[in-house]
Amino acid sequence: MPRKAGYVTRQAERLSAGQINRRRFVASALSAGVTLPTALSLASKAEARVPKQGGFARAAFADRNGFNGALAFARGNALTEITASGDVIGELAETIGHSSDHRRWTFTLRKDVAFHDGQPLTSEDVLATLSRQRPVNVEEIRATGRLSLSVRLARPDPDFPRRLAGPRFVILPAGEEPRSANGTGPYVLNRFQPGVVAELTRNPTYWKPNRAHFDAVRLTALPEPISRQSALMTGEVDYADRIDPCGVALLRRIPTLSVVETPGSRHLALTMDSRKPPFDNADLRQALRHGISGQSLVERLLFGHGSIGEDHFRPEDARALYRRSGHAGTVPLAADAASRDATRLIVETAKLSGIEIKVVDPTGNDGWRAEIRDDDIP
């Protein structure tokens, strides 16, 4: 049965991609033992996934980084692109080459790309953008031809193409300001209020086939989680990111909405300076490591919508290490406002190991830190 199910799934993907028609899919499903009503239902679902031209898309973002990133890729392209499966492929770069030590990289640009104003893309445009942003570790960037470049790194870096896929490296025309609306992307910017709203229309000459399906797009920054959730529920927006974990269950009850969970860069970082007391005591550091329940944080703070890898929570080990450390009194913990709830749970779970934690002023330097971070991952 799993083999047949896999075959039907692959056929459904081919139908969605336009590689086979509905009749062929239904015949394939019937031959695999699927009943006719089920085959027809699967065909309808597969066809519903086929992108269709037209319409107006409205998206809301939790912060300026998300808003600016979406805008950057709506109006432009980078040299490379990270696919949905996590692979790195060329975007504006048609070919990518490297030396055996991964210190010298070469890029050949696509010939069929133009900016919104009709100006063709050249290596001078890429050179100007990369020189302005200057990726870390780059020693030299030079154009070797109208559509070719060479980059020399100070140190070997096999992941260099991946680093060029971020919104910082969206290519702009040489000689234009960094805030220029001109780009090579799928949509043309018509109205822009920095950090608030951007309105764009489809680029009729976009170089990528079967992309840019919407006639128009509006991007909005809505920092408050309840505002994004309300906008989704009332139909004011079609997409919103960073849904508050406590609101996921409610949104899943709405038949017209889909909740998609994807890996992100937002994480809780617990840091301490091992050069300063009391954290120069290795036993105390290990006691804290084993005295905090990561799984409890995921379940109670994120309602299960997160992961921790391995949970090192072992109260008995933490208690023994804490006694061996010889530390007396409370352990200071500084926390920013974003991690207030996490801090409360850290204090609570540490008590199970006999460790008393005192929350101190986060601007001071006398405590370890709990911070909600959002690292910029290209």
Tens of pLDDT, residue by residue over 95-111, are 999 999 999 999 999 99
Instruction: Give residue 261's pLDDT band: very low, low, confident or very high (50, 70, 90).
Output: confident
Backbone angles phi, psi at 226, to 5 degrees: -65, -30
Judge residue 55's burial from the number of C-beta atoms within 10 Å of its C-beta, 0-12 exposed, 13-18 middle, 19 or more buried.
Answer: exposed
**What pLDDT score was predicted for residue 1?**
42
Residue percentage of the chain with pLDDT more than 90: 59
Residue percentage of the chain with pLDDT more than 70: 96
Instruction: Tell how many helices (H) and how many strands (E) occur in the chain.
Output: 12, 15
Neighbour tally for 86: CB within 10 Å: 8
- Distance separating alpha carbons of residues 67 and 324, to the nearest angstrom: 49
Q: Is 75's pLDDT higher than 60?
A: yes
Identify the H or E element spanning 351: helix 340-351
Tens of pLDDT, residue by residue over 141-192, are 999 999 999 999 999 999 999 999 999 999 999 999 888 899 999 999 999 9
Partnered with residue 142 across adjacent β-strands are: 150
- Find, among 19, 62, 64, 45, the residue nearest to 247 by Cα: 62
Q: Whose structure tokens read 């850290």? A: 346
Q: Whose structure tokens read 């830190």? A: 369
- The interaxial angle of helices 340-351 and 294-301, nearest 10 deg, is 130
168-185: string of b/e by CB count within 10 Å (b at 16+)?
A: bbbbbbbebeeebbbbbb
Q: Is 132's pLDDT higher than 90?
A: yes
Tens of pLDDT, residue by residue over 275-301, are 888 999 999 999 999 999 999 989 988
Tens of pLDDT, residue by residue over 186-242, are 999 999 999 899 999 999 999 998 889 999 999 999 999 999 999 999 999 999 999
